[in-house]
Amino acid sequence: MGIFTKDIKSMEDLLIHGLEDVYYAEQQILKSLPKMINKATNRDLATGLKNHLEETKNQVERLDKVFAKLGKQPSGAKCPAIDGIIEEADETASEIEDKAVLDAALVAAAQAVEHYEICRYGTLIAWAEQLDHEEIVRFLTTNLNEEKAANAKLNTVALRKGVNAKASA
């Protein structure tokens, strides 16, 4: 189902589709994070990615609860956006030989993922609030706050922990 198909007839349908989109995205992220962790040579970056892998597992559990609160089975809807972000990251990483530059590229790829998730969760929260689904807003807000924190940690790794400086040396 695409974002503007006949299957979406109401705001409730739009919310469900958005939840399916982010559920699929989180599943794809769970698959790609271990690959990024294995490629990272900067210790702070690898640790941050490992920590976020655990957070992502918890985010999926929260999404399971969201679907349950709405009386739906958790399911994902193919998300070309996250697939594209991950594919681009994989292609870029495969072209980089210098490990320091690769770490910088991994930070950028992880931040692209975080920004996508921040966008999706923010929208889903607004829709859930509009539809008076306060019982799911808490779960979505927790996920959003974790995504924002992950992005901030990536900024720190890139700028204060020296990933970008080492890559440019």
Q: Answer whether 0.75 is exceeded by the pTM.
A: yes
Ordered domains of the chain (ranges, CATH): 11-168 (1.20.1260.10)
- Average pLDDT along the chain, 169 residues, taken 10 residues at a time: 66 96 96 94 94 97 98 92 93 91 95 97 98 97 97 92 89
Give the pLDDT of residue 93: 87
Contacts 24+ apart (CB under 8 A), 106-109: 106/36, 106/39, 106/40, 106/45, 106/49, 107/45, 107/154, 107/157, 107/158, 107/163, 107/164, 109/36, 109/85
DSSP state of 48: H
What size, in residues, is the chain? 169
